[in-house]
Chains A and B, each alone.
Chain A
């Protein structure tokens, strides 16, 4: 497809379980970002991949959160031992020079 694709679109999980969220960026975009959108909190930066450089993990809220990007393309955000406060929409974005495109997000609900 032409846009950033995220899956699943919705995920309900039990507290304590691990979840994986997937992002397929636009082909050719070398930069990839994960943001978290919580109600009333705006968009919170989580992690940034740029080419083959070490990722900028400065926004990850705890060591339960991790992300990887394989082959410079698809990225997976993993949340271990989920907590109720992890409930949010997780947005992925990819960039070429001066253009950033967002996916529709994964809505995560921890029950």
Chain B
């Protein structure tokens, strides 16, 4: 079975600082990996995804993540935090041979951005 572990339930950064949100996965077969963002009282919005190919994936709002098989990691980064980045971030994993996704989520990391 697949699983993801997000290290740190809360991460605090200053505006303009580097954002690093950690995600490690467990999967017996090559995984598909996702990062979602959730703003207050809203659903989840896809930030980026890794399926196959290039291991450095760029997403929306300046975020990117790198799939590292040797480290079983898919950490999310952004060079410079903005106040509007404050939200909850979820890493998710799936394996699929059908093209449809039964996502397994981590417990989430709340990003706090201070002025």
* Cβ–Cβ contact A56 & B43, under 8 A: no
Interface residues on B, range: 20 to 34
Q: How many whole Å from A7's CB to the nearest CB in chain B?
A: 13
Any B CB within 8 A of the CB of A67: no
Any A CB within 8 A of the CB of B106: yes
Stretch at the interface among B19-27, B57-65, B68-76, B95-103: B95-103
Q: Closest A-chain residue to B34, C-beta based?
A: A100
Set B45, B49, B100: member contacting A95, Cβ < 8 A: B100
Q: Closest B-chain residue to A29, C-beta based?
A: B100
16 pairs, CB–CB < 8 Å, chain A vs chain B: A4-B43, A30-B100, A31-B100, A33-B103, A42-B106, A42-B107, A43-B90, A45-B103, A50-B98, A56-B102, A91-B43, A97-B99, A98-B101, A100-B46, A102-B45, A104-B43
Residues in B82-115 with C-beta less than 8 Å from chain A: 90, 92, 98-108
Q: How many whole Å from A49's CB to the nearest CB in chain B?
A: 10
Which A residues form the contact surface with B (CB < 8 A)? Answer: 4, 30-31, 33, 35, 40-43, 45, 48, 50, 56, 91, 93, 95, 97-100, 102-105
* Beyond A42-B108, A45-B103, A103-B43, 6 additional pairs, beta carbon < 8 A: A42-B107, A56-B102, A98-B49, A98-B101, A102-B45, A104-B41
Question: How many angstroms between the C-alpha atoms of A93 and B105 in the bound complex?
Answer: 13
* Cβ–Cβ contact A40 & B44, under 8 A: no
